[in-house]
Amino acid sequence: MSAPTQITAFAALLLSGAIFGFFYAWVCSTMWGLDALDPRLAIPAMQEMNASVRNAVFAPAFFGTPFVLALAALLAWHDGGTAAAMAFGAAALVYGLGGMVLTVLVNVPMNQALAQQVVPDDIETARAIWQDYSPRWQMFNMIRTGFSGLALLLCGWGLMRLG
């Protein structure tokens, strides 16, 4: 395989791993920690985290992953690596639809709705807001984490098939 194909494939692996790790961390620590807090603290903490994630460090992994995977597929195809190309292409589709599109259609609107909430002084009102948000958000986060993990596995498979 050509050097550009190998470099692009490793960049795809790095980005796929980064976005999977990002979503995974929310599954196994961040949301559990927020759920353990007083909801009057959890709501503003989540609002701040959602606001801070829109940055130049996060953007390449979130937005760039499907494009780098697709580029790896095209380069592998050009080099005659049909199996690798199919793996990278499948990874691009899996993450693009199950990770990025799901996030844009579900998690982002939920985050925007939470951002509009004024944190109530009353703990029961705050608890109702958090209980309406957190379990549903976490379910969709687990789905996008699973798709991102599958994309990472497919990318690894593609690298193995490069030979």
pLDDT in tens, 136-145: 999 999 999 9
CA distance 17 to 157: 13
Domain boundaries, the chain: 3-162
H or E stretch covering 145: helix 123-162
Handedness of CA 63, 65, 70, 76 (dihedral sign): positive
For the chain, percent of residues with pLDDT exceeding 90: 98
Q: Is 146 a residue whose pLDDT tops 90?
A: yes
- The answer to whether residue 35 scores a pLDDT higher than 90 is yes
- Packing angle, helices 65-78 and 3-25, rounded to 10: 150
SS3 41: helix
E strand spans, the chain: none
What pLDDT digit, counting tens, does each position of 6-32 carry? 999 999 999 999 999 999 999 999 999
How remote is the C-alpha of 25 from its chain's centroid?
10
* Residue 112, Cβ density class (10 Å: 0-12 exposed, 13-18 middle, ≥19 buried): exposed
Confidence of residue 163 (pLDDT cuts 50, 70, 90): confident
